[in-house]
Amino acid sequence: MVPKSKPVNNESPVFGSFCERFVDERKRLGWSQTDLRTRMGVGKSTQINYESGESSPNADYLAGLDDLGFDVMYLLT
């Protein structure tokens, strides 16, 4: 990967952690935590753990997020 000379996001060079980006992306798309976890087939504690950084989603979950319109590359990078 080639390092960028300037951050893509002009507002801040800091993009936060995966869990922060995940919550931001969920909110951007208008999904509630309950709606998303129901749609993705995970329990309440699992969704909370993903959004708090206690655990990380697997590839199948990320693929499901992509199907729902989440920008998975943004989440991962």
Give 18-52 pLDDT, tens digit per residue: 999 999 999 999 999 999 999 999 999 999 999 99
Angle, CA 64 vertex, CA 3 and CA 56 arms, to 5°: 60
pTM for the model: 0.78
Among the residue ranges 7-21, 35-49, 53-67, the one predicted with the least confidence is 7-21
Packing angle of the helix pair 33-40, 59-67 (nearest 10 deg) = 110
Contact partners, residue 49, CB within 8 Å, separation at least 6: 55
Residue 57, pLDDT > 70, answer yes
Q: b/e string for 29-55 if b means 16 or more Cβ within 10 A?
A: eebeeeebbeebebeeebbebbbeeee
44-68 average pLDDT score: 96
Residue 18 · residue 76 · CB < 8 Å:
yes
pLDDT of res. 16: 85
